[in-house]
């Protein structure tokens, strides 16, 4: 917890806060989804002026909860949408589900002209809180928090002047055939039947591998030809003289020749650091992801938009800028896309109550001061097991 990068202002499901993490009900799961989905959609419709009756496509991405009727059916019923609306529920897709949902809408737009689509991304945390003692499964409790987002997409040309972002490129990569990557983020039960997620030490390496494969396809589509030629010449020159790439040089490409901002999935400190190392990004580039992780935690598929929201609240996004959105998820998947900023953005959005305090002077939390003694070997004179065994024998 001390080194997780998580702050003290993140949000938890009600059943966890009330001490009912071992006995979450179906209604707990529905309430958690309704609070996030309906609150964000109410704001979205009010802010855009679009009526729910105008929506032609609804996509919900929630990996760990798939009720019947579906979550999209709950949305359609709540807002009394028209009867020809196309509804899709994405489950089991992990933290990269939002970009998958955007890609799905992009494909549907090819046959649905002048349409509006909404994408809702969140995660069901309450019923999936791990209550056991296996360390690799406890990590998910530290990283994952409650949160989500709703977004409006359209291919209606009349709305181009109102648009905030334009999708220009996307690439999806799946390395599930690699056993190590496939098992690096896995839902299962521990030895005594407690359900949870196991996050292994292979996770950062799996992320780096998937990211590298994805960028081999994506970068030639977004970087200028001059940068591609420079890289190609240097690559073959170094190969001929058998000169190794300098340590920490990243991909060898100047990504900033075609990309202005990097929206990295706030999956955890290790993931952010590994992506930064792989792409040779500096602290300024990674600040939005680190701040989103600190303030909101890992909110799964909705997390990328907290990162982008930070950029917007800090007034970093100017008309014409390009944003590389990097998402990683269980399976193992890397789904990336590039957005073009259509106008200067400076809405403080979900960050409005705290943006003036970010970045903080330090990302350290008080857990070291309060509980650091647990790791002090000199204090290892009494263990919980010692007391338990005595209680049983007495």
Tokens (6 digits) for 245 = 């790439």
CA–CA separation, 326 and 218 (whole Å): 11
Closest of 83, 87, 79, 38 to residue 60, by C-alpha: 87
Closest of 35, 1, 44 to residue 15, by C-alpha: 35
Q: Which of 294, 334, 336, 337 is catalytic?
A: 294
Q: Which of 15, 98, 128, 174 is catalytic?
A: 174
Tokens (6 digits) for 145 = 């928090």
357 catalytic per annotation: no
365 catalytic per annotation: no
CA–CA separation, 9 and 356 (whole Å): 15
- Alpha carbon distances (Å) from 105 to 57, 309, 335, 341: 8, 22, 15, 19
Pairing of strands 86-90, 261-264: unpaired
Q: Which of 149, 185, 214, 261 is catalytic?
A: 261
Q: Which residues pair with 144 in a beta bridge?
A: 298
235 catalytic per annotation: no
Tokens (6 digits) for 285 = 């580039």
- Distance between first and last Cα of the chain: 35
Residue listed under structure tokens 């179906």: 26
349 catalytic per annotation: no
CA–CA separation, 165 and 142 (whole Å): 32
In terms of DSSP H, where are the helices of the chain?
14-17, 26-48, 71-79, 97-109, 135-143, 179-182, 203-222, 225-240, 269-279, 283-296, 303-313, 367-371, 384-393
89 catalytic per annotation: no
CA–CA separation, 134 and 353 (whole Å): 36
Q: Which of 98, 298, 336, 349 is catalytic?
A: 298
Q: Which of 128, 214, 265, 334 is catalytic?
A: 265
CB 332 within 8 A of CB 175: yes
Active site residues: 95, 174, 261, 265, 294, 298
């Amino acid at each position: 917890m001390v080194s997780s990068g998580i702050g003290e202002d993140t949000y938890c499901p009600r059943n966890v806060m009330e001490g009912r993490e071992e006995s979450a009900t179906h209604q707990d799961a529905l309430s958690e989804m309704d609070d996030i989905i309906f609150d964000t959609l109410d704001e979205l419709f009010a802010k855009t002026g679009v009526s729910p009756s105008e929506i032609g496509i609804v996509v919900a991405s929630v990996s760990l909860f798939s009720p019947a009727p579906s979550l999209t059916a709950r949305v359609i019923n709540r807002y009394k949408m028209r009867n020809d609306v196309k509804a899709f529920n994405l489950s089991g897709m992990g933290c990269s589900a939002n970009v998958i949902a955007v890609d799905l809408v992009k494909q549907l737009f090819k046959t649905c002209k002048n349409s509006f689509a909404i994408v809702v991304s969140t995660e069901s945390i309450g019923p999936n809180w791990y209550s056991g003692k296996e360390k690799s499964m406890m990590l998910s409790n530290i990283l994952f928090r409650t949160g989500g987002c709703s977004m409006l997409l359209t291919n209606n040309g009349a709305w181009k002047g109102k648009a905030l972002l334009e999708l220009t490129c996307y690439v999806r990569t799946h390395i599930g055939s690699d056993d190590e990557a496939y098992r690096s983020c896995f839902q299962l039960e521990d030895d005594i039947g407690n359900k949870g997620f196991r996050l292994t030490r292979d996770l950062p390496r799996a992320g780096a591998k998937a990211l590298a494969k994805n960028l081999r396809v994506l970068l030639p589509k977004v970087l200028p030809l001059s940068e591609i030629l420079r890289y190609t010449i240097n690559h073959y020159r170094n190969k001929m003289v058998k000169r190794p790439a300098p340590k920490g040089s990243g991909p060898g490409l100047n990504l900033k020749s075609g990309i202005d901002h990097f929206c990295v999935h706030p999956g955890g400190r290790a993931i952010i650091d590994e992506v930064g190392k792989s792409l040779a990004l500096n602290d300024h580039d990674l600040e939005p992801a680190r701040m989103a992780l600190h303030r909101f935690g890992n909110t799964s598929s909705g997390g990328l938009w907290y990162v982008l929201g930070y950029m917007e609240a800090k007034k970093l996004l100017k008309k014409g800028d390009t944003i590389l959105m990097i998402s990683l998820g269980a399976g193992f998947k890397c789904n990336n896309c590039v957005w073009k900023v259509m106008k200067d953005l400076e809405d403080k959005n979900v960050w409005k109550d705290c943006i003036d305090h970010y970045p903080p002077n330090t990302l350290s939390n008080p857990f070291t001061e309060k509980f650091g003694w647990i790791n002090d070997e000199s204090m290892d004179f009494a263990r919980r097991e010692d007391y338990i065994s005595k209680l049983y024998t007495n």
